[in-house]
Amino acid sequence: MKYLIKSVIMLVLISTFVGNMIVTSAQEETVLKSGNYEYTILEDNTVEITRYIGKESEVVVPSNIDGMEVTSIGSFAFSYCDEITYVIVSNGVKRIADYAFNLCVKLKEICFSDSVTYIDFGAFSNCQLLSKVDLPKNLEVIESYAFGGCKSLESVTIPDHVVSIKRYAFESEKLTKVFIPKNVKEIASGAFACCTALESISVDNNNEFYTSKDGVLYNKSLDTLVQYPSGKENKEYRIPDGIKNVLCGSVYCKALKKIIIPKSIINIESSEEGTKYCLDWYYYWGMNNSTEIEGKTFSYITPVLAPTLSTDIYGYPYTYAEQYFGKRLNLLEKKNNTLTTKSNSCFIKAKKLKSKKQTVKPIAIKNAQGTIKVTKVKSGTTAKIYKKIKVNSKTGAITFKKGKYAKKTYKIRLKITVSGNSTYKSKTLYKAVKVRFK
């Protein structure tokens, strides 16, 4: 009986727990409506706005809805609201989710409250008229593509609390300067690569992780190239000696015609898609996609990786750069010629030479880069028969004129020269060969 009672009590508890889970889950999934907003209630009984259904051009995102605090603007909540020109995010909102304001094509200005600490992936992507952004002072993370496709962006103020700026966070055709504050610890690949007018990146002197030289962004220890500003007008950029790592998309610049890679480079980052050669590749916004949320379809634009193709890459032979770029790399120094020779055993029957000339091939010439020239060198025992031999200038074959020869071994010294070419240096070898007379 005691075990039966315990079992019944346990079943009641489990049923109550499961029932609460179902109720809670149902509450979380229920979309409510208040005025111009659809919303859901989060686990902490705060509100996430899931969709704006108004038509106003100037919008104030409320701090409260139906007596509950608004803490989040959800995915695609304002996406495709093409009437909106101005937005105020009220105090209390902490998170702006992915693509929240995507394709608000008339949005020119947004005013954040300082409660915002996180701006998610593509949150303001493709807001093509957005010209000025003063980010909230308590913001900590700017996610990838947060301001991608914002081609009119002229001014961005990154606050001191920001610790991380993700991949390709900004895109602009008008932004010329960026200042990195002291607390930024992470700037991911190509964070500013799509800012085609960017001329200079400067860094707070107290930042422990990054620095800039001549407007170019490096890590503090100066062994990683983070970003060469895409709007610089220089025709040539020599990556400084000592740089070991280059981030993907770090040197996309239309004006650049020549990039010189030092011998110190040991790694050039490839893209997440595995694309090689992305040192000077960049992202542009042009791939249309769509997603369905609660029965509604939302379109959005995502970035596409593309090469510049106009930049010539220069580097040194026998380095990582040559391994990485292969034939695309223009060599600053010629390689050592690969010319090699191999001696062959040669025998001639002396009596045959009484009636006709004889030819032997005492060496094999291999891997020569360029034009070969073989000549005889008069020295030692060669001098005695110098006038009796003729050397083929291309193969090194030796022809002995007919005549009388002693039965012995003759040592003949040859000079093998290969001219080299645009890739390989010239090279000269001296080779002593032996021809034995029987």
Please tell me the predicted confidence (pLDDT) of residue 142: 95
Identify which has the larger pLDDT, 336 or 324: 336
Q: How does pLDDT run across 196-212, given as a tens digit for each residue? A: 899 999 999 999 999 99
Q: Residue 308: name the closest of 326, 281, 330 by CA.
A: 281
> pLDDT band for position 100 (50/70/90)?
very high
Give the burial class of 300: count Cβ atoms within 10 A of its Cβ; 0-12 exposed, 13-18 middle, 19 or more buried.
buried
Distance CA 29, CA 46 (A): 14
Question: Can you tell me whether residue 353 is helix, strand or coil?
Answer: helix
DSSP 31: P
Is the pLDDT confidence value at 31 over 70? yes
**Residue pair 413/430 in contact by the 8 Å Cβ criterion:** yes
Q: How does pLDDT run across 161-176, given as a tens digit for each residue? A: 999 999 889 989 999 9
Q: pTM of this prediction? A: 0.73
Residue 67 CB coordination number (10 Å): 6
Distance CA 372, CA 84 (A): 75
